[in-house]
């Protein structure tokens, strides 16, 4: 299996594990605890970024064509959406 399939797949699995842990148990990695104020939103951000990496890996399996382009665009917008959610999760909530 080539590296351009292994790297997004491993990153996607790690993001799914972290996202599920943040949503279910309000648990995030220790080095992120100081900055993240909304753990569940951060978990959803991780799940959206995992979708981005999964669509990137799926796009690499397809041949040249329109479907590969569409999956690349989905990966781009999902990654940007996940980054926006992660940034919002690092801001304090308005009631604090």
**Contact between residue 55 and residue 76 where contact means Cβ atoms under 8 Å apart:** no
- Residue-wise pLDDT for 21-55, tens only, equals 999 999 998 998 899 999 999 999 999 999 999 99
Predicted TM-score (pTM) of the model is 0.88
Q: Which one, of 21, 71, 67, lies nearest residue 51 by Cα?
A: 71
Percentage with pLDDT > 70 across the chain: 99
**Contact between residue 33 and residue 88 where contact means Cβ atoms under 8 Å apart:** no
Give the pLDDT band (50/70/90) at residue 96: low
Instruction: Take residue 54 and report the two structure tokens written for it.
Output: 């999964």
pLDDT computed for residue 67 by the predictor = 85
pLDDT computed for residue 28 by the predictor = 92
**Contact between residue 24 and residue 47 where contact means Cβ atoms under 8 Å apart:** no
């Amino acid at each position: 299996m080539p590296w351009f399939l292994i790297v997004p797949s491993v990153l996607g699995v790690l993001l799914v594990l972290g996202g599920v842990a943040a949503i279910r148990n309000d648990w995030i990695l220790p080095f992120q605890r100081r900055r993240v104020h909304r753990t569940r939103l951060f978990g959803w951000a991780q799940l959206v970024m995992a979708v981005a990496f999964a669509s990137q890996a799926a796009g690499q399996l397809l041949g040249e064509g329109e479907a590969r382009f569409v999956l690349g665009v989905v990966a781009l917008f999902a990654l940007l959406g996940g980054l926006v959610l992660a940034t919002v999760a690092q801001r304090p909530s308005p009631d604090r």
